[in-house]
A and B are shown apart, each in its own frame.
Chain A
């Protein structure tokens, strides 16, 4: 358990302007409280969220990254999220083989109506990340999740 009580995870959220950003707004209007660790980067559409941005976020010492946009079929630009979905799917494969900790990178669909879901997602991610402790991107040090992986692997 590498986490210390002092540790406050840094979470970067890349969200689309029309669904998830508004979902987060709704969470605000409904005063749904959640941890203050998330930093939202607003982009027009998940279609705009390039994998280089995610890498950059990790390089900038993000402990977890969230990518979120409109549910399939609801994209403000009709199909941006479909293109994104494919990209992410493959990108995760690449991260997996590189040994990047996939528990540090999250993908969700959150609509403008899902303020509640935004609250839950952020709370969960923050708690989870806090437990896992700071993310040493590219350090071969074994992490908590790694141990977990090992257990699953043997079982």
Chain B
């Protein structure tokens, strides 16, 4: 598996088809897995593949310094690939300038990550080539909104209390923004003044303003890679916010971000039939 992966990448570099391979590396067994940017065929051994390769490398494509390395090959799992689809629709990348190496994925982490437990796209669909194949069939019977529904059993005030508490811990470090493969604005709204649309103070107001904006800017875009939650140094479960919007998109508009390259972007289109029961 890893060998065939390395071979493909080595060939790509040798043939100079790409100038850099964005993949996973590990400084030693048991050591944490980290992204590597392999630029020379001889360094290809740096590449690893194991069940700790859960990060979504797509986020690195938006980095100027990575772009400056030349045409890239990127290693993606089925779920990561959804982000590529969104980025392409939002004309953030041109597929022809990117070589996508898909890897069949049985799920990441021990125990399995939450996102993996209900994953529906374990095989990349649009990659230039896919390494490995599925041992087990994708089981999409798994209810995907359990946590959300659990959470919604609380009363509004209880929820509010929860978030005031949770978001109260927010340091405004914006790691959630940095790791998000889909946050690519050159100047984030939160850094804009005259006017200051988002209250930047570390008060409940400020915290909510930021996290509402972050979540809503991902409405109909978030592909549920959970990088934001993973990256949060104070462990705020941002996944819930993203999920609430993802579910709405799916149930109200039968839309799943990054699944269908043909589908019109959710908040870039409308239908005369859109529900409006909530409008008086």
Contact = CB atoms under 8 A, between A and B. Distances in A.
Contact, chains A and B (beta carbon distance below 8 A):
yes
Interface in B185-208: 189, 197-199, 204-205, 208
B219 interface: yes
B157 A82 contact: no
Interface stretch (B19-27, B88-96, B118-126, B159-167): B159-167
Interface in B231-280: 240-241, 244-245, 247-249, 252-253, 266-267, 270-272, 274-276, 278-280
A32 interface: no
A113 interface: no
B244 A55 contact: no
A7 interface: no
A139 B154 CA distance: 16
Interface string B165-197: 100000000000000000000000100000001
B152 A55 contact: no
A96 interface: yes
Contact of B212 (A55, A82, A139): A55
A123 to B, nearest CB: 13
A39 interface: no
A108 interface: yes
Interface in A55-71: 55-56, 59
Contacts of A33: none
A19 to B, nearest CB: 13
B98 interface: no
Given A96-B244, A98-B212, A140 B155 contact: no
A97 B279 contact: no
A140 B240 contact: no
Give chain A's interface secondary structure class.
Answer: helix
A141 B215 contact: no
A108 B276 CA distance: 10
Nearest to B153: A153
A85 B163 CA distance: 26
Contacts of A150: 155
B148 interface: yes
A142 interface: yes
A52 B155 contact: no
Contact of B160 (A59, A140, A153): A140
Interface in A86-104: 86-94, 96-102
Contacts of B189: 52
Nearest to B249: A90
Contacts of B152: 96-97
A101 B155 CA distance: 10
Contacts of B46: none
Given A52-B198, A97-B240, A107-B279, A146 B208 contact: no
25 contacts: A51-B212, A55-B209, A56-B197, A79-B270, A82-B270, A82-B274, A83-B270, A85-B279, A89-B252, A90-B216, A90-B219, A90-B266, A94-B212, A94-B215, A94-B219, A94-B244, A97-B241, A97-B244, A99-B162, A102-B156, A106-B280, A107-B279, A109-B279, A138-B208, A146-B155
Interface of B: 148, 151-165, 189, 197-199, 204-205, 208-209, 212-213, 215-216, 219-220, 240-241, 244-245, 247-249, 252-253, 266-267, 270-272, 274-276, 278-280
Given A96-B244, A139-B164, 10 more contacts: A52-B189, A52-B197, A87-B267, A94-B212, A97-B152, A99-B154, A99-B161, A99-B162, A100-B160, A153-B155
